[in-house]
A and B are shown apart, each in its own frame.
Chain A
Amino acid sequence: MNKQTILVIIASILVSGCSSLGVQPWERDLLAKDEMSLSSSPVDNALDDHIYFSKEASSGGKGFGGGGCGCN
């Protein structure tokens, strides 16, 4: 239960502290670039995930969504 508590604490800090962070909608030029995408090479990631899933005891954990140009 200890690890879960830590996670909940981190999550609450993030949620409360993050309303002041960020950029204006027109300041997302760098964030809009492909190389700033959180999953910039999905093919590489898929191939690597397969290798490490087969050779190690851990897998996954990475997510989806967020960042980018923020358009529409």
Chain B
Amino acid sequence: MQLTTNKKQNKKTEQKINIKAALTLATTALFGGVAQADTPEEDSWEFDTAFLLYSEVDRVSAGEAILNAKKTFSDEEVLNLKLTIDALTGASANGAVAQPNVQTFTRPSGNGQYDVVAGDTPLDDTFHDTRVQLNAQWTQPIATDYSASAGVHISKEYDYLSIGINGNLGIDFNQKNTTFSIGASYFQDTFTPEGGIPKPFASMLIGDSSSPSWDDDFAQTRIGTEDDKTTTDMLLGFTQVINRRMIIQFNYSYSMVDGYLTDPFKILSIVNNEGLAQDYVYEQRPDQRIKQSAYVQSMYHFDTTVLDISYRYMWDDWDIESHTIDSRFRIPLDGGSYIQPHFRYYQQSAADFYAPYLMQSKFELQRPEFASADYRIGEMTAYTLGLKYGMTVNNGHELSFRLEYYHQAPSDAGFEAPSVLTNEDLYPAIDAIIAQVTYSF
């Protein structure tokens, strides 16, 4: 399929040629001009659109949509723009423990109460929020074997604003078999929760929101209307091509979060020696958190399948340690489609100030500096099982479907439960379904 354009045309170098090429050349010869060459591949846009549904049984549901636009310019310069919109609804655990009787709690805003039936894990269903996020990232080579990238991020929801910048540098060695990357990011977040910032360990005011003294009493439990935090991250990466089929990556990351890290909507139950709740108090977390992680990932291309497996170890100064194993196996099918099973295993230990509840006797003797009953910083194991199916449609576009099952199992980090609480489920498991559709064109 190639044409030898040599002067000795008569010499029968019988080579198979392409009709289009032949006609192009014929036109050139006939009209004596230079054939109009195809213009080099125009700067091209690539789009990804995705919609995801996350739904926990009896708890939180979230919908998230992403529109990603990527433009590649003439010499490997890339502009990436992303719009994300998500909406959250449903009920979240408020941190209190289940009791053998009905419990009443006040909503975070202070406007109204809600009841939880005996035996149920208390859930607060006032959470519905919509968030919009915009990201812009520019990447370009800056010298032979040097590539740089910089970006901005802005995210806004009813009570939260986050703005951030990031930058990174990549350096290639050994004919691009080895790559070092260094990156950093800085985020500034402002939180204006409904109801304001609660006073740490203040008792949750429960009564009649419509009573004349309510507003003043409620204000007594508040210390402000808003607070903020900054997050500084740094990442060092090392990528190495092992052979034609395999590549590995090793990353180290360091993250420092400073500011308001408490969850203003979460409380702890103060229970007596029998386990019966006497009071509910607002939680308090430290105003700084330093996290570090070591991550290794390997990708291996078999005959037709690709295995992606990674492990991450995270540790922080709240005494939390976690292990994450994530693996995906891509199996190509006929006609450009594929299936990809996914398995993820996660395990974390509890923060040193985590407590599922506080004993009244101890609490009254000496108030702890920090305490939180948020199961998300408690001890837990979780796993995800998923399957993705992708297919090629409409001349090179891709359509894919992903369905996953996420199971979270919080566990007892060694708290001896008083009598009443031994009959309650203090560590309820959470099941969620994740469903996603993506269309790329």
Direct contact of A and B (CB under 8 A): yes
- Give chain A's interface residues, CB within 8 Å of chain B: 3, 7, 10-11, 14-15, 18-19, 21-25, 27-31, 33, 35-36, 38, 40-44, 46-47, 50-52, 55-67, 70, 72
Determine whether the beta carbon of A64 is less than 8 Å from that of B149.
yes
Which chain B residues lie closer than 8 Å to A72 at the CB level? 75-76, 141
Closest A residue, CB atoms, query B170: A65
Using an 8 Å CB-CB cutoff, how does the interface string of B149-185 with A read, 1 for contact, 0 for none? 1000000000000000000101010111111010100
Given contacts A23-B177, A55-B376, A65-B147, whether A35 and B306 have CB atoms under 8 Å apart is yes
Determine whether the beta carbon of A10 is less than 8 Å from that of B250.
yes
CA distance A9 to B172 in the complex (A): 21
CA distance A70 to B54 in the complex (A): 37
Which chain B residues lie closer than 8 Å to A65 at the CB level? 147, 168, 170, 179, 181, 237, 239
Using an 8 Å CB-CB cutoff, how does the interface string of B49-89 with A read, 1 for contact, 0 for none? 01010100000000010101000000110000010101000
For the complex formed, measure the closest distance between the CB of B61 and the CB atoms of chain A, giving whole angstroms: 12
Selected contact of A66 from candidates B183, B237, B380, CB within 8 Å: B237
**How many residues of B are in contact with the other chain, CB < 8 A?**
79
Using an 8 Å CB-CB cutoff, how does the interface string of B410-441 with A read, 1 for contact, 0 for none? 00000000000000000000100010101000
B8-16, B198-206, B293-301 - interface stretch? B293-301
Given contacts A36-B247, A57-B348, A72-B141, whether A44 and B436 have CB atoms under 8 Å apart is yes
Determine whether the beta carbon of A14 is less than 8 Å from that of B299.
no
CA distance A14 to B237 in the complex (A): 12
Which chain B residues lie closer than 8 Å to A62 at the CB level? 251, 295, 297, 310, 312
Give me the 5 closest cross-chain CB pairs, A-B, nearest first. Answer: A66-B239, A22-B177, A66-B179, A63-B237, A70-B176
> B233 interface residue, CB < 8 Å from A?
yes
Determine whether the beta carbon of A43 is less than 8 Å from that of B50.
yes
Determine whether the beta carbon of A51 is less than 8 Å from that of B406.
yes
Determine whether the beta carbon of A21 is less than 8 Å from that of B177.
yes
For the complex formed, measure the closest distance between the CB of A21 and the CB atoms of chain B, giving whole angstroms: 5
Determine whether the beta carbon of A70 is less than 8 Å from that of B76.
no
Using an 8 Å CB-CB cutoff, how does the interface string of B228-257 with A read, 1 for contact, 0 for none? 000001010111111111010111110100
Given contacts A11-B238, A14-B238, whether A23 and B408 have CB atoms under 8 Å apart is no
CA distance A26 to B170 in the complex (A): 21
Determine whether the beta carbon of B181 is less than 8 Å from that of A64.
yes
Selected contact of B244 from candidates A23, A46, A57, A63, CB within 8 Å: A23
CA distance A7 to B255 in the complex (A): 16
CA distance A52 to B314 in the complex (A): 14
Which chain B residues lie closer than 8 Å to A10 at the CB level? 250
CA distance A72 to B52 in the complex (A): 36
Determine whether the beta carbon of B75 is less than 8 Å from that of A63.
no
Which chain A residues lie closer than 8 Å to B177 at the CB level? 18, 21-23, 70
Which chain A residues lie closer than 8 Å to B291 at the CB level? 58-59
CA distance A10 to B255 in the complex (A): 20
Closest A residue, CB atoms, query B299: A36
Using an 8 Å CB-CB cutoff, how does the interface string of B9-32 with A read, 1 for contact, 0 for none? 000000000000000000000000
Closest A residue, CB atoms, query B86: A50
Determine whether the beta carbon of A44 is less than 8 Å from that of B245.
no
CA distance A44 to B330 in the complex (A): 14
Determine whether the beta carbon of B50 is less than 8 Å from that of A61.
no
Determine whether the beta carbon of A46 is less than 8 Å from that of B66.
yes
> B355 interface residue, CB < 8 Å from A?
no
Q: Which of B319-338 contact A (CB under 8 A)?
A: 320, 322, 324, 330, 338
Using an 8 Å CB-CB cutoff, how does the interface string of B275-302 with A read, 1 for contact, 0 for none? 0000000000000000111110101010
For the complex formed, measure the closest distance between the CB of B32 and the CB atoms of chain A, giving whole angstroms: 36
CA distance A24 to B315 in the complex (A): 38
Which chain B residues lie closer than 8 Å to A43 at the CB level? 48, 50, 66, 68, 438
